[in-house]
Amino acid sequence: MGLIELIKDKFKKPEGRVEGVDKVTGKGKYAAEYEVKNMAYAVLVGSTVPAGSIQSILVDKAKEVEGVLDIITHLNKPIVPGLSTEEKIKEAKLGLPVFHTNKVYFKGQPIAMVIAETLEDATFAASLIETEYHKGSFSVDFDATKESVSLKPEGKERGSQDSWRNSQFIIDQQYNIKADVHNPMEMHATIAHWTGKDTLRLYDKNQGVNNVQKTFAKLWALPEKNIEVFSEFVGGGFGSGLRVWPHVLASIMASKQINRPVKLMLTRPQMFAGTGYRPASWQRIRLGSDGSGNLLGILHQAKNGTSVYENFNDGITRVSRLIYKLPNLKAEAAIVPLNLSTPTWMRGPGDCTGVFALESAVDELSYQLKMDPVELRLKNISLEKHPDSGLPWSTHFLDEGIRKGAKMIGWNSRKAIPKSSVDGDWYIGYGMAVGMWNAGRQEAKAAIIMHKDGSITVQTAMTDIGTGTGTGMQNIAHEITGISKNKINIELGNSTLPPAPSQGGSTGLSSVSGAVHDASNQLKVKLADYASSVNQNFKNAALENIILSDEGITLKDKSVIFVAYPELFEKNNLNEIRLEVSSKPGSEGEKYAFCSSAAHFCKVRVNKRTGKVKIEKLAVVGDGGKIINTQAAANQMSGAAVGGIGMTLMEENQIDAKLGTVIGNDLAGYHFAVNADAPIIEVEFINKPDPNINPSGAKGLGEVGIIGTAPAIANAIYNAIGLRMRDLPITPDKILLALNQR
């Protein structure tokens, strides 16, 4: 290798995540880090009561603080066209109409906002605001309130409940899960800047810039093109960035009020109250089988908490329609209004909650039947068709995942009789569970720009929330064009780029990959067309015969016919070549059903003296179609599984029922899984493309990495100690109490 080649090699972009260097060097800006000239700072003031109405709000002392520019309340605010009347507020369906009502729905609800020259001035002034309320009655206790809400049918009933009422084997149990909070590392923040009378720029932490753009275009009666939203770098979302929360509107109102850019960043306690959570839930599963282990029917009932001002149904019973061949099925659900802020989707929404009850019940049934839990699942999984719609699966390899996972965990070492494996003070147990998700895609656009030096830039508005979407896009473009990865740049997370859906629901890469795939192929065809002006052999060249390199274009089996990019650009008088492509679902959804799946296997140790649960080994096998980026996909799966560990063993959003106050609303008081709580999670993939879902064959993995984790751990605990834990989180005190009461 010569000197020039050595220098090029030294300074080429390193392999790995396309945004990795920018993140670790600080070049990449998160929402709160952008520097905008003449920026002011806003601080929210929350209600100190959980219900009632504002009688008076005194701001005079706060206004006297040096540096205070204005204070927004329901009595002093700019006009938002889409919220100007009660009728329009209902039509907007925004959730909480911040500063547009004197009603109080939950403790911590924003009731005022101080805008000042500095964050310190705004924070101090906020502490001086005094409010008097007409206090109302309230309820924040899900367990105490849920009995007052009646269940209603959810979805179409299948078969008949009477037909299996007297089944030979029946499990009929209840399962409870406490509310969990997303707690992404990056705080939710917005910088709002009215760059003109009718033009707005937002730097915002969210999972979909086009969703934010459309929401505020409607609220402010503006063309979408007049609102520019940046969310290029996101420090975790897990669903908390899928909705447009009140603080974003508040920051826009503040900027309009003072005619200056305004930054509003929530504190960690404010995020507990203002950016959603997985709601508390109750479930009942009644599950029956014959003596051979054939599942005959299920009754799945569920309730989840919501706010008193907005209905949120988590779709908990949906997963029971997805996994097993159940000839008889009935689902019922209800939402329980509470004086808390509105919940939202949290990784694996609904299905993650529902599968804890379903897979715990299936495990309980296996012990009744004296059948291996692996065998019971393999016997009943609906591998040929979607059990609800009847459509054939396009691809479905959960059975392969189960068999592979069993080998990875050493399932043959499991003792069939609980509490029969002991090592000193530790009981040892094995558990497993499966998870599934309805895979899909949405319409997405992508653009490719080729430059004179042979480098290309791939663009989409989709935000990469840390899932590796940008790297996946680079890999697809590299695989199709043949251009080196270090010459492929990725631009995303900006609403001015080709529009794309939000990053969520495991549809991100599945959606945008089709557009990148098609744009890459169209680039090859376009380049061949331009190259024909230099050499006629390229005219009407077939796609499969067009070969690109970092230097130029050639034809398959005719490598002597070559056109360098500089010559191509010069001959056609080009500065750049740009293509934009839209990719969306076709009629495939009428022919096939699509799913992603995962099999979770767990080995635990449970200490008989302390009740501590130590996860010794956790293995996950995912079927997400073609794996575009193996490392990022494995990171997704292991990260999701760690979230499942927290959900199972420690996470709980505690509420003081008498005061309506969230307790432990910070990273010290709210316990979640850290490195010490998780082993190195072993992840493998089936890695078989789905030929029908999109051109890339990728189906998505973001959800299934957590769906199934909780029941796998809970089932392993039962195998270890012989006591069934049906309420999450399973904390040491609960285990000790159960062991001592035995």
Residue 706 has pLDDT above 80, yes or no: yes
556 secondary structure, DSSP code: T
Residue 6 has pLDDT above 50, yes or no: no
Residue 8 has pLDDT above 90, yes or no: no
One-letter amino acid of 726: R
Long-range contact list for 656-660, CB < 8 A, 24+ apart? Answer: 656/140, 657/140, 657/141, 657/144, 659/50, 659/107, 660/49, 660/50, 660/51, 660/106, 660/107, 660/138, 660/140, 660/339
Q: How far apart are CA 4 and CA 535, in angstroms?
A: 31
CATH 3.30.365.10 placement within the chain: 278-440+590-741, 444-584
Assess contact for 276 and 124: CB atoms under 8 A.
no
Q: Which two tokens mark 61?
A: 């002392």
Q: Looking at residue 12, what is its pLDDT?
A: 52
Q: How far apart are CA 431 and CA 429, in angstroms?
A: 7
Chain segment 238-247, per-residue pLDDT in tens: 999 999 999 9
Q: How far apart are CA 596 and CA 393, in angstroms?
A: 11
Residue 70, C-beta contacts closer than 8 angstroms, at least 6 positions apart: 76, 115, 254, 257, 258
CA separation, residue 504 to residues 464, 509, 619, 690 (Å): 10, 10, 24, 20
Chain segment 179-219, per-residue pLDDT in tens: 999 999 999 999 999 999 999 999 999 999 999 999 999 99
Q: Looking at residue 10, what is its pLDDT?
A: 45
One-letter amino acid of 690: D
Q: Looking at residue 4, what is its pLDDT?
A: 47
DSSP codes, 353-402: HHHHHHHHHHHHHHHHHT--HHHHHHHHB--SB-TTT-PBBS---HHHHH
Q: Looking at residue 13, what is its pLDDT?
A: 54
Give the model's confidence band at 3: pLDDT under 50 very low, under 70 low, under 90 confident, else very high: very low
Assess contact for 626 and 690: CB atoms under 8 A.
yes
Residue with tokens 């007052």: 148
Q: How far apart are CA 710 and CA 702, in angstroms?
A: 16
Chain segment 12-50, per-residue pLDDT in tens: 555 788 998 998 899 999 999 999 999 999 999 999 999
| pLDDT over 90, % of the chain | 95
Q: How far apart are CA 714 and CA 712, in angstroms?
A: 6
Q: Residue 16: which region, alpha, beta or left (left: phi > 0; alpha: psi -120 to 50)?
A: left
Mean residue pLDDT across the chain: 96
Give the model's confidence band at 330: pLDDT under 50 very low, under 70 low, under 90 confident, else very high: very high
CATH 3.90.1170.50 placement within the chain: 40-137+189-234+241-272
Chain segment 337-367, per-residue pLDDT in tens: 999 999 999 999 999 999 999 999 999 999 9
Q: How far apart are CA 216 and CA 82, in angstroms?
A: 9
Chain segment 359-368, per-residue pLDDT in tens: 999 999 999 9
Chain segment 152-185, per-residue pLDDT in tens: 999 999 999 999 999 999 999 999 999 999 999 9
Q: How far apart are CA 101 and CA 109, in angstroms?
A: 11
Q: Which CATH architecture has domain 40-137+189-234+241-272?
A: Alpha-Beta Complex (3.90)
Q: How far apart are CA 276 and CA 241, in angstroms?
A: 9
Chain segment 451-491, per-residue pLDDT in tens: 999 999 999 999 999 889 999 999 999 999 999 999 999 99
Chain segment 641-655, per-residue pLDDT in tens: 999 999 999 999 999
Spatial CA neighbour of 620 closest among 642, 641, 596: 641
Assess contact for 592 and 601: CB atoms under 8 A.
no
Q: Which two tokens mark 627?
A: 């794996």
One-letter amino acid of 412: N
Look up the CATH number of domain 444-584.
3.30.365.10
Chain segment 488-530, per-residue pLDDT in tens: 999 999 999 999 999 999 999 999 999 999 999 999 999 999 9
CA 738 to chain centre: 35
> What is the maximum span of the chain, computed from C-alpha positions, in angstroms?
86
> Across residues 660-676, what is the average pLDDT?
95
Residue 433 has pLDDT above 70, yes or no: yes
Tell me the fold of 278-440+590-741.
Aldehyde Oxidoreductase; domain 4 (3.30.365)
Q: Looking at residue 545, what is its pLDDT?
A: 95
